[in-house]
Structure 1
């Protein structure tokens, strides 16, 4: 058996075992990788930076680095990696940790290390977020929805999001299950309430023509989902606003617990959760309203749903890595902006904190 693990195999090790986990929507960290010795006479590919245990493969201070990092995390090809190939990738990391790496292993064989050894159910992996989430997006954007169908698709969307958040949680600091349940219920209630309320208002608006009413209804899912995402973040992480979150100096030492840093972390996370559904739920209605006027779809109405599915898939694939790459996982803040006791506790001008995702 070859000791070389393809890129999709490295990513599968994280998505399968639970710790892309800390690169997931509700996670709180990065990927762990190693720096194996290069074999003699073997050129190192430019695409594979030197491996460093505890650090992502790509530089996280730049948007492009974060974007490439998350492209690895959400790569759907990892869904098709076999169990035996996955075990091979995981074994490489174990060999490295015990200093028994086979000769000839290079940076190309890096494996993403999870927090736990749990296997994540395929639809809830980060690599499965787009392929399994796209049908839900298509359902959310179906025209002429009844109240029952609106409730169903909003509930299904928030249920899927909750399962992804829980499956990809940060396992290094376990959170009570009650927090996830609280966030889930709050998200479902807010999403359903807003979606149903807006649909009823649009239907009762006599000033709109049927065509205009239909177009407006297509945009209803966005405010409902965005509001639910904010509600989910606040409910699940409200204790951070009261207790604060750890801030660290340049050497990784904990300086203190800051409520101000917690506010910044929640704000950045909430903005990400608002930006994420924007292209997914706003672009497809605009594009479909244009395409449906073409002779191709007018003469072939059965093609509307397949075309809409492809448009939603493309929007989802674009929006997810862009949105979660907006802010660094480990954000930096000036100590002068934090509580006086924290500013006095370190000579560092800046400290870092884990914002979560």
Structure 2
């Protein structure tokens, strides 16, 4: 077997991102929770493989599958712009276990006001950590922007949850179980535009096929933010809509009536099962990079094609 060639483009995902299936395979790999179990030595080994390959040095005996595995392990733990190791709970691979715990608790402890406020606060605090840990090097998040988005999203989520909770007091219990979902959806509508407000002002970079920047597009930034909000709301639907229906049925059975302590872990498990599939599949709804037709129509040359990145990975998952 010959030495691995140096022309494999590990700057881009392994699979075709113009298709839903290719994007789904990419995001299933990016969000794989098993990467959290890797030791520091394994992470460093993957980083060395990737950095050496980019520098034109192939690790002896390295196969293409091993190279791609190292690339995804590296991406799962290190910041793409700074190269710094991301704090554990801020990594993309931590999204499913962290969100299943937080969402499961939001759905379990939805009856009392103090627990509603606490878990909505925990959720937005986790989002803030993810946003900061995966901040873009091209359009960095300032402390002021992060603080504004955090306070606004937390306030919006809590206000929505408490407002709807008071309105559903006299409705069937099942209706009240959907209050956390409404609060999360409201927070997403607030958080993402605030986190990417700079892009709404100056636009996002537009490049040619060689990656050379041609300018910026505000219109594409607006579209990207809209797509991220839709994706994140869709991502929450299975995890926050299916378990409440199941739990409402199970809690009427003698099994859970005799074992009420099983309610929380069962709900967390149901949420986790939904998120394992919903997270990558909803991230794959829209391409992260696409042709920018609005830019083509506004003065840039029509050939070669221009592309932009309207939706960023960290925004899908925060």
Q: TM-score normalized by structure 1?
A: 0.78
Deviation at 1:319, TM superposition (A): 1.5
The 1:290/1:241 distance shift into structure 2, 3 A limit, reads same
Check whether the contact 2:110–2:180 (CA below 8 A) recurs between aligned residues: no
Which residue of the partner structure matches residue 272 of structure 1? 231
Check whether the contact 2:3–2:60 (CA below 8 A) recurs between aligned residues: no
Distance in 1, matches of 2:305 and 2:229, equals 23
Which residue of the partner structure matches residue 70 of structure 1? 27
The 1:83/1:263 distance shift into structure 2, 3 A limit, reads same
Distance in 2, matches of 1:274 and 1:173, equals 24
- 1:150 matched to 2:116? The reply is yes
Check whether the contact 1:73–1:127 (CA below 8 A) recurs between aligned residues: yes
Partner SS for 2:308: strand
Distance in 1, matches of 2:189 and 2:16, equals 28
- 1:117 matched to 2:83? The reply is yes
Stretch of structure 1 that moved more, 260-269 or 139-148: 139-148
The 1:115/1:243 distance shift into structure 2, 3 A limit, reads closer
Check whether the contact 2:108–2:263 (CA below 8 A) recurs between aligned residues: no
Which is richer in helix? 2
Which residue of the partner structure matches residue 61 of structure 1? 18
- 1:332 matched to 2:294? The reply is no
Partner SS for 1:345: coil
Which residue of the partner structure matches residue 247 of structure 1? 206
Structure 1 residue runs of 4+, over 6 Å off? Answer: none
Which residue of the partner structure matches residue 352 of structure 1? 307
Which residue of the partner structure matches residue 286 of structure 1? 245
Check whether the contact 1:260–1:339 (CA below 8 A) recurs between aligned residues: no
Which residue of the partner structure matches residue 297 of structure 1? 256
Which residue of the partner structure matches residue 20 of structure 1? none
Pick the aligned partner of 1:96 from 45, 53, 59: 53
Which residue of the partner structure matches residue 144 of structure 2? 178
The 1:105/1:138 distance shift into structure 2, 3 A limit, reads same
Distance in 2, matches of 1:315 and 1:309, equals 10
- 1:163 matched to 2:129? The reply is yes
Distance in 1, matches of 2:118 and 2:40, equals 34
Partner SS for 1:247: strand
Distance in 2, matches of 1:176 and 1:41, equals 45
Stretch of structure 1 that moved more, 347-356 or 57-66: 347-356
Distance in 2, matches of 1:332 and 1:345, equals 12
Alignment of 1:134-145 (within 5 A): 134-142=100-108, 145=111
Aligned length: 302
Pick the aligned partner of 2:2 from 40, 43, 46: 40
Partner SS for 1:318: helix
Distance in 1, matches of 2:200 and 2:45, equals 42
Alignment deviations for residues 262-287 of structure 1 (CA, whole Å, 9 cap, x no partner): 22111111211221211121111012
Deviation at 1:254, TM superposition (A): 2.6
Q: Which ranges of structure 1 fall in alignment gaps of 5 or more residues?
A: 1-38, 45-49
Distance in 1, matches of 2:302 and 2:271, equals 49
Which residue of the partner structure matches residue 52 of structure 1? 9
Q: Which ranges of structure 2 fall in alignment gaps of 5 or more residues?
A: 75-79
- 1:318 matched to 2:277? The reply is yes
